[in-house]
Amino acid sequence: MPQTRNDQRRNRLTQPWTAVAIASNQPNGFGPKPYAVELQIFGSQIFDPIKKETGAHLLPFLFHLCRVNAVIAGNAETDAQERIPTENAPGLTFGRRGTTLSRARSQEGSGLNRTLVDARILQEFRAVVGDSGLITSQEELKTYECDGLTNFRVVPQAVLLPRSTEQIQGIVRVCHRERVPFVARGSGTGLSGGALPVKDGVVISLARMNRILEIDFANALVVVEPGVINQEVTGRVAPQGFFYAPDPSSQSICSIGGNVAENSGGAHCLKYGFTTTHVLGLEVVLPDGSLAHLGNKTLDAPGYDLSGVFVGSEGTLGIATKITLRIVKRPDCIQTLLAAFNSTSEAGAAVSGIIAAGMLPAAIEMMDNLAIQAAEAAVHANYPNCGALLLVELDGPTAEVEVLMCQVDEICRKCGAGEIRVAQTEAERVLVWKGRKAAFAAVGRISPNYIVQDGVIPRTALPRVMTEIARLSAEAGIRVANVFHAGDGNLHPLVLYDRRIEGQEHAAEVLANRILELCIEAGGSITGEHGVGEEKKMMMSKMYAEPDLETMQRVRCAFDPEQLSNPTKVFPRPRLCGEQPGDYQPHPVELAGIAERF
């Protein structure tokens, strides 16, 4: 009795779990054309086979998760197939997208190529950046194996440290020619794994490109290299009364290039907007090594707003090498109010009241009791010990701020605020903000480990979501400290756990994911400022429908058809750039029962 396809599939899904994917290559006349590999897959990723007709290539990231057991080689004329286990073909190398078999070694039935960054390619890199610009030693490479998200680590093949746009172009040209994926890296402070190296790829560190190239006060703009530290921009323009508005809490170490990649926000983006609001133009090295100027120093450059698409694309569209930023005049007066409430609901009601009154503060931040305790332990911010703390910052002309601050005070009292303090001098203000800005690091004082999330919800959903988070937290026995940008609904739940205790890490991860799902259910977003990166790419399928992701991927193909620029990030499933949407056509190998489509 012939086995049903399901039976066959079930059998194949027992130990070791296997799946067959199909690969093909551009015709090149070198021996039989392999068009399938049998893979052992670890984890639960599921891949669709690639249609041979589109001339598609094996998904490179399969190799992050798979060990190739064999190649099913086919004869183009007769369509006969032969299974060649890899141990019988030691010279087999495996191809990346775009690699043609013209690089096949002279082994019989040798198949796809993987371009390892070998001595030859390293030499090409060395020719561009010199010895001092190339890191290849294992110990040094390990320092680049992760960014601020430390539970994902991949050691890159090499790290390059260019000093100029021309050097970056040189590096990327080599990568393009040799099909080596690359990941650009700023300060490595990202919290979503955006700078996590890609297996068998290289890291291009922008740390040495840290000059401020031009400051134009008359036109309120500056031009900087990507490695410039965020806070440094403000530092340089402060004497003339300007500041650079996007202020992520990591601003003393994070780079502008990283801010551009993630479209970083910060506490003041409620009023001032995000990085994308402040980027006028970009000089970009595209993934083929060519240079393009997106946007301009002047507004509304004709054509598509490509700089608007580039900001927040998390390094998947190329590398920004010069960034024109808008600087803003410091307001006349800045006042920060601190109000203590019994609960986050009360504080949330105050926030709604402020918005309903027609005010737009510069920032509204909230911290719950756990976060307050952490901040006290870490930096002695001298916060009142209460259920929830609200920070409201108003800025603008002095007379305006004074009137509005009275209104805010009144609203807070009406909503049950106990203690209210108003910081009026710069020194007082800095102290008030100290605790909030140190919150993430501060929780390290009350918990050995933590996961920080970055969901966004509509402001009106705040009470409901906070209650649900508290319930889930109690249920799981995992504490959650809450710090958030109450003005725009951007939550930063800090899920606290102790890795040494059995099961806590897993429980914490489950809780963190559930909180993100809550955000989606409430009509929000999975990330307000940290980016999708590696960490949340699978959640993209929950937030967006397939056509939405597919459209974004099409835009990506316009920039990076070879998928070399930070290729494994943001999207849950890569989409090949030659792929035509439409009805699925089964492949002959699949029809023959060798391949399965899951």
Partner 1 sequence: MQNAFEMASLPTATGKGAAVPWNDLRAIASAEQVRSAGPSDRVAGVQPEAVFEPGSEKELAAALHCADAAGLSVVPRGGGTKTSWGNPPMRADLILSMARLNGVIEHAWADLTVSVEAGCTFQRLQNTLSQHGQRIAIDPLWPEHATIGGILSTNDSGTLRIRYGGLRDLIIGMTIALPDGTLASSGGKVVKNVAGYDLPKLATGALGTLGVITRAVFRLHPLPHNLRSFTFETRDLTDANRLMLAVQDSKLAHTGLQARYSEERTPAVDVRFEGTDAGIAAQTETLRKLAAPAAEAANSDSVWQARQELWSSAEAAAIAKFSVLPASVAETCGRIRLLADSLGVQWRAVVQGTGLGWLRLEASSAPAIHQLLHTLRPELEHVGGSLVVLHRPAAMPAIDAWGSGGDAFPLMLSVKQQLDPRGTLNPGRFIEGI
Binders of partner 1 in range 388-427 (CB under 8 A)? 396-404
Return the closest-CA partner of residue 327 out of 400, 426, 397, 236: 236
Comparing CB distances to partner 1, the nearer of 375 and 461 is 461
Among 32, 170, 201, 265, binds partner 1 (CB under 8 A): 265
Binding piece for partner 1, criterion CB under 8 A, among 118-126, 230-238, 468-476, 486-494: 486-494
By CB under 8 A, the residues from 516 to 545 that bind partner 1 are 523-532, 536, 540, 543-545
Tell me which of 215, 359, 420, 594 binds partner 1, using CB under 8 A. Answer: 359
| Residue 234: count of CB within 10 angstroms of its CB | 19
> Does residue 230 touch partner 1 according to CB under 8 A?
no
Give the whole-angstrom CA distance, residue 351 versus residue 410: 12
C-alpha–C-alpha distance, residues 412 and 349, integer Å: 9
Contacting residue, 9, 211, 329, 506, with partner 1 by CB under 8 A: 329
Q: What is the enclosing helix (H) or strand (E) of 422?
A: strand 420-423
Which element (helix H / strand E) includes 366? strand 363-368
Alpha-helical regions (H) of 455-565: 462-476, 504-521, 540-543, 546-559
Residue 32 vs 295, nearer CB to partner 1? 295
Least distance (Å) from partner 1 to the CB of residue 165? 13
Positions in 577-596 near partner 1 (CB under 8 A): 581
Using the CB atoms, write b or e for 542-554: b if 16+ within 10 Å.
ebbeeeebeebbe
Within 556-575, which residues bind partner 1 (CB under 8 A)? 556-559, 570
Considering the complex, state which of residue 2 and residue 547 has its C-beta at the smaller distance from partner 1.
Answer: 547
Return the number of the residue (29 or 547) whose C-beta is nearest partner 1. 547
Binding of residue 311 to partner 1 (CB under 8 A): yes
Q: How far is the CB of 59 from partner 1 (least distance, A)?
A: 20
User: Can you tell me the distance from the alpha carbon of 302 to that of 324, in angstroms, rounded to the nearest whole number?
Assistant: 17
In terms of CB distance, is 286 or 494 closer to partner 1?
286
Binding mask 454-473 for partner 1 (x = CB under 8 A): --xxxxx-------------
CB of 529 to partner 1, least distance (A): 6
Q: How far apart are CA 369 and CA 308, in angstroms?
A: 38
CB of 78 to partner 1, least distance (A): 35
522 and 496 Cβ atoms separated by less than 8 Å: no
CA distances for 461 relative to 379, 467, 524, 566, angstroms: 31, 10, 9, 35
Closest approach, Cβ 298 to partner 1, in A, equals 4
CA–CA dist 474, 480 (Å, integer): 9
Query: Residue 218 or residue 591: which is nearer to partner 1 going by CB?
Result: 218
Q: Is 275 helix (H, G, I), strand (E, B) or coil?
A: helix
In the complex with partner 1, which residue's Cβ is closer, 239 or 358?
358
| Only segment of 87-95, 160-168, 251-259, 329-337 that touches partner 1 (CB under 8 A) | 329-337
Amino acid occupying residue 481: A
Q: Measured over all CA atoms, what is the biggest interatomic distance in the chain, rounded to whole angstroms?
A: 88
Of the ranges 60-68, 159-167, 213-221, 248-256, which one interacts with partner 1 (CB under 8 A)?
213-221
Q: Give the integer Cα–Cα distance in Å for 389 and 419.
A: 10
Rule CB under 8 A: is residue 306 a binding residue for partner 1?
yes
Q: Pick the binder of partner 1 from 467, 554, 584, 598 (CB under 8 A).
A: 554
Report if residue 292 touches partner 1, rule: CB under 8 A.
yes
The answer to whether 419 and 339 are in contact (CB under 8 A) is yes
Residues in Cβ contact with 424 at an 8 Å cutoff, skipping those fewer than 6 apart: 335
To partner 1, the closest distance from the beta carbon of 453 in angstroms equals 13
Sequence-ordered list of residues with C-beta below 8 angstroms from that of 315, at least 6 positions apart, any chain: 183, 184, 194, 195, 261, 565, 566, 569
Q: Does 305 bind partner 1 (CB under 8 A)?
A: yes
Q: Which is nearer to partner 1, 124 or 262 (CB)?
A: 262
Q: Cis ω on the peptide bond leading into residue 16 (within 30° of 0)?
A: yes
SS3 per-residue string spanning 244-269: CCCCCCCCCCCEHHHHHHHCCCCCCH
Whole-number minimum distance, CB 228 to partner 1, in Å?
21
Name residues contacting partner 1, limited to 83-112 (CB under 8 A).
Answer: none
Rounded CA gap, 116 and 321, in Å? 27
Q: Residue 488: what are its φ and ψ, rounded to 5°?
A: -120, 15
Is 454 exposed, middle or buried, given 0-12, 13-18 or 19+ CB atoms closer than 10 A?
A: buried
In the complex with partner 1, which residue's Cβ is closer, 222 or 378?
Answer: 222
Does 352 contact partner 1 by CB under 8 A?
Answer: yes
From residue 6 to residue 35, what is the string marking binding to partner 1 with x (rule CB under 8 A)? ------------------------------
- Shortest Å, Cβ 191 to partner 1: 12
Beta-bridge partner residues of 319 = 285
Non-local CB neighbours of 428 within 8 Å, separated by 6+ positions: 336
CB nearer to partner 1: pick between 155 and 557: 557
For partner 1, which is the closer residue by CB, 385 or 398? Answer: 398
493 counts as binding partner 1 under rule CB under 8 A: no
Q: How many residues bind partner 1 (CB under 8 A)?
A: 93
Closest approach of partner 1 to the CB of residue 236, in Å: 17
Residue type, 513: N
Distance, CA of 447 to CA of 416 (rounded, Å): 31
- Tell me the window of 29-37, 182-190, 355-363, 366-374 that interacts with partner 1 (CB under 8 A): 355-363
Q: Which of 126, 208, 297, 597 binds partner 1 (CB under 8 A)?
A: 297
Gap between the Cα atoms of 317 and 59, Å rounded: 18
**What are φ and ψ of residue 135, in 5° steps?**
-115, 125
Nearer to partner 1, 426 or 502 (CB): 426
- The residue among 437 and 569 lying less far from partner 1, judged by its C-beta, is 569
Binder of partner 1 out of 434, 479, 485, 587 (CB under 8 A): 485
